[in-house]
Amino acid sequence: MQNPKKASADDWDQIIEPHDKLLNLKLGELWRYRDLIYLFVRRDFVAQYKQTILGPTWHILQPLLTTIVFTIVFGRIAKMPTDGVPPFVFFLSGTVIWTYFANVITDTSVTFSKNAHVFGKVYFPRLVTPIATTLSKLIAFAIQFLFFIAYLAYLKLTGVSISPNLWVFATPALLLALAMLALSCGLLITAMTTRYQDLAVLVSFGVQLAMYASPVIYPISSLPEKWQFWANLNPIAPILECFRYAFLGVGQFQPQQLIYSGIVISLMFMFSAIVFSRVERTFADTI
């Protein structure tokens, strides 16, 4: 009787191996789990408003109500400058961008705690869940962005001086950079909360503070000249300024600032992915 043939690596459809190198993130493995990413995206988007009366309409109401408050408080009462464009559309442009950024950070920052029951039962790349969250929030952004475009069209029809330009074609690149920045911040936070769970309580507060440190409700040009350099070091600032320049024709936007932002965001993404990859091995023991 012959001994059964020993199984080789070629006999298996899936081989789970430990990460043996610091930079071995196996990002290519995510492509094989694209169907799972799609299911998570669909789950997150459908479940969010499944038992609500207005459903996806909240995606429009939330930035709309926020913009109205900003227009009254910062536009009418505080007389915040808006680079010569109507305050409502100025605040709406910042709100649409920041809402996506803040939602991605908030949801990805609880990746380990929210999905611990799933991670402990079945294997799949843990980056699947934060990436799915980032993509699901992109659907909400698309709805809000279409509302923003519709309002711009209304302003043009009523004769308001708004000057979109060819930089509108850079919107996909801006959105990619914004998603990578938000995902990077979320990955770092969720990695740290496995040991320091107090950070989870501070996420919403920290995101709110970060909004006031970013040109969401004010243009860079309204700051004293000595502060403008430091404000532009915030990697989201060039994205916001470029977005406004592209669709409204206002803002102190310079291409080199956008290049700087892209470099910083790329480095942040690689660092956060490495940290996330190292923490995911032992998170079950500390969470």
Domain count, the chain: 1
Where does the pLDDT of residue 95 fall: very low under 50, low under 70, confident under 90, or very high at 90 and above?
A: very high
Q: What's the confidence (pLDDT) of residue 99? A: 94
Residue 202 included in any domain:
yes
The first and second tokens of residue 145, run together, are 């962005």
- The structure's pTM equals 0.85
Structural domain span for residue 35: 31-280
> Which tens digit of pLDDT belongs to each residue from 224-250?
888 888 888 999 999 999 999 999 988
Residue 173 has pLDDT above 50, yes or no: yes
Residue 286 included in any domain:
no
3-state secondary structure the chain: CCCCCCCCHHHCCCCCCCCCCCCCCCCCHHHHCHHHHHHHHHHHHHHHCCCCCCHHHHHHHHHHHHHHHHHHHHHHHCCCCCCCCCHHHHHHHHHHHHHHHHHHHHHHCCHHHHCHHHHCCCCCCCCHHHHHHHHHHHHHHHHHHHHHHHHHHHHHHCCCCCCCCHHHHHHHHHHHHHHHHHHHHHHHHHHHHCCCCHHHHHHHHHHHHHHHCCCCCCCHHHCCHHHHHHHHCCCHHHHHHHHHHHHHCCCCCCHHHHHHHHHHHHHHHHHHHHHHHHHCCCHHHHC
Q: What's the confidence (pLDDT) of residue 184? A: 94
- Alpha-carbon span 105 to 209, nearest angstrom: 13
Residue 136 vs residues 34, 60, 69, 180: alpha-carbon distances, Å: 14, 16, 26, 14
Residue 25 included in any domain:
no
Q: Taking the CA of residue 207 as centre, how many other CA atoms within 13 Å lie in the half-sphere pointing to its CB?
A: 21
Q: What's the confidence (pLDDT) of residue 110? A: 80
Residue 60 included in any domain:
yes
More confident residue, 287 or 123: 123
The first and second tokens of residue 243, run together, are 């977005």
For helices 225-232 and 236-248, angle between their N-to-C axes, nearest 10 degrees: 110
> Which tens digit of pLDDT belongs to each residue from 199-224?
767 888 889 899 998 999 999 988 88
Residue 20 included in any domain:
no
Q: Find the mean pLDDT for residues 102-116.
A: 82
Residue 3 has pLDDT above 60, yes or no: no
Residue 27 has pLDDT above 50, yes or no: yes
- Supply the mean pLDDT for the chain: 83
Residue 24 included in any domain:
no
Residue 8 included in any domain:
no
Residue 3 included in any domain:
no
